[in-house]
Amino acid sequence: MKFQNTVLSGPGRRYYTSANQVFRGSEADRKLDIFLTSVDVTLSNSEHDWSSVLVIGEHKQNPGEDRLTKTLIQLAGYAREVFGSQPDRRFVPGFTICGSLMRLWVFDRSGAYNSEKFDIHEEPARLVKTIAGYALITDAELGLNMFIKRDGNGKYILARNVKISLEDKPIASTTAIVCRGKHAIEEGEAIQRTGSTWQREGRLLKLAKDRGITCIAHWFNHKQVTIDGDPDTISHLRQAMEFGPQRKLIDIDLAKEVDSVPSGASHRTGTMQFMAIEVLQGKGHTYRHDIESFFHVFIWMCIRYGHKDVDLEGTAAPSGSKPNKTRVRPMKTSRLRGWYSGTYPEIARNKLGDMVGFEDVAAEFAPKFTVLKGLAEELRNVLFRSRDLAPFTGTYKDRNIMYEGMINAFNKAISHLGKEPQLNA
């Protein structure tokens, strides 16, 4: 305490412990042993919030826990909470003290890094330098995003000499540690997006604008962010993207130009459970695979979501009781587990089998989406219409066969849904 009130009294930061108090702004009941935050943070009901944490610390009495996986997982859980509450955070510093062994950590969007351990009893000066160092270094060195500015009215950025105000909370963001760290912040018609893949997406969006392509994010400006004159390779920003009306394409950073050749990479880019079967098999990408991925997302949403007042065992809650509610179906007993577990060929076989026995997949639809089983069957037929009893996973030369088939299926379903209230009246 005396050390903080004297040596660390100037920089406006202070170490705290949450003791037995759970942090606000978290989906899980997590408490931090030690953390650094600004002294001028406004506390609600004297409770600290993950949105103001600068450095995370974990203390354990047993030195044998220094290299245990559970210690890293615990610290990583704290880092994930920080990234979730501070979506524009570039990286999160932290440390562990197990017995007398101290180790320093950094979590960024590519994973975790740690220093060598040292004994604070044998090197007390190193301990003091470390603790004081965290409190005295700059905001940029703590991993804060210096490109997004703040004033009395809130957050803003400058793009081509235009000041663009931003909402405090993003309309979309990623909370995982190892990811592209992308998020979008809205202000009127403008969307400011940040992430680690801005350069490719910005280039493709500008190319799309130059070629007159509509119904995607309208490119306004993109820029390489620098910290102290050096490129910031952790948090690349895409600035002030103005969206066109209604429908929009997203994830432009993963787009490919028509007629471009395969990269030859051994890995697959995308979300495993939504990949098309032929993509999992390593075949060249076509328009069909984009439509099929949309179909997999549609099925996933109908099964995973739409569950209300259901306990974690999957049974309805007794009348008048307060269940341990979940609106998401547990994956342990779902066929969808085979859509992301195993090797690429195994997942491809699982998906192919589910397209043959599709009635078993539709049987898992949540109560809220059972009305969409007919639509799901229609979409399955458009994509996987059998040829010689085997599901078709290839690509027609005539794109209209699949595009019009999908659109007609949706139009038919929408027309049917629109009449349902009258039929039930």
The chain-wide mean pLDDT, for the chain, equals: 78
Quick one: pLDDT at residue 56?
Answer: 95
Tell me the pLDDT tens digit for each residue of 87-119: 888 899 999 999 999 999 999 877 888 889 999
CA dihedral sign, ordered 310, 314, 316, 321: negative
pLDDT band, very low/low/confident/very high, at 240 (cuts 50, 70, 90)? very low
Buried b (16+ CB within 10 A) or exposed e, 306-337: bbeebeeeeeeeeeeeeeeeeeebeeeeebbe
Tell me the C-alpha distance between 273 and 408, whole Å: 25
Is 70 exceeded by the pLDDT of residue 304? yes
Say which DSSP state 49 is in.
B
Tell me the pLDDT tens digit for each residue of 350-381: 999 999 889 999 999 999 899 999 999 999 99
Task: Give the distance, in angstroms, between the CA of residue 97 and the centroid of all CA atoms in the same chain.
Answer: 30
pLDDT band, very low/low/confident/very high, at 247 (cuts 50, 70, 90)? low
CATH topology of domain 2-142: tt1808, chain A (3.90.1570)
Using CA atoms, how far residue 330 sits from 141, 310, 324, 333, in Å, is 40, 11, 13, 7
Buried b (16+ CB within 10 A) or exposed e, 352-387: bebbeebeebbeebbeebeebbebbebbbebbbeee
Residue 123 identity (one-letter amino acid):
E
At 182, phi and psi to the nearest 5? -85, 145
Average confidence (pLDDT) over 274-302: 92
Tell me the pLDDT tens digit for each residue of 313-334: 444 445 455 444 446 667 778 8
| Rg, C-alpha atoms of the chain | 26
Is 50 exceeded by the pLDDT of residue 404? yes
Tell me the C-alpha distance between 21 and 45, whole Å: 12
- Give the number of other CB atoms < 10 A from CB of residue 408: 12
Which DSSP string do the residues of 320-386 spell out, in sequence order?
Answer: T-----BSS--STT-GGGGGTSS-HHHHHHHHHHHHHTHHHHHTT--GGGGGGHHHHHHHHHHHH--
Q: Are the CB atoms for 403 and 291 separated by under 8 Å?
A: yes
Q: Which residue has the tokens 């931003």?
A: 166
CA dihedral sign, ordered 167, 171, 175, 180: negative
CA dihedral sign, ordered 212, 215, 221, 224: negative
Quick one: pLDDT at residue 257?
Answer: 60
Q: Domain residue spans in the chain?
A: 2-142, 149-254, 272-424
Tell me the C-alpha distance between 101 and 252, whole Å: 46
Which DSSP string do the residues of 228-286 spell out, in sequence order?
Answer: TTEE-SS-EEEEEEEE-SS--B--GGG---TTPPP---SS--S-GGG--HHHHTTPPP-
Q: Which residue has the tokens 């390593």?
A: 282
At 373, phi and psi to the nearest 5? -60, -40
Q: Which residue has the tokens 């524009």?
A: 88
Q: Are the CB atoms for 107 and 79 separated by under 8 Å?
A: yes
* The overall pTM is greater than 0.75: no
Residues in the chain: 425
Q: Report helix, strand or coil for 184.
A: strand
Q: Are the CB atoms for 293 and 273 separated by under 8 Å?
A: no
Among the ranges given (163-167, 360-364, 371-375, 420-424), the one the predictor scored with the smallest mean pLDDT: 420-424
Quick one: pLDDT at residue 348?
Answer: 94
Average confidence (pLDDT) over 291-309: 89
Tell me the pLDDT tens digit for each residue of 45-88: 667 888 889 999 999 999 999 989 889 999 999 999 998 888 88
Q: Are the CB atoms for 145 and 173 separated by under 8 Å?
A: no
Higher pLDDT, 145 or 233: 145
Is 70 exceeded by the pLDDT of residue 185? no
pLDDT band, very low/low/confident/very high, at 419 (cuts 50, 70, 90)? low
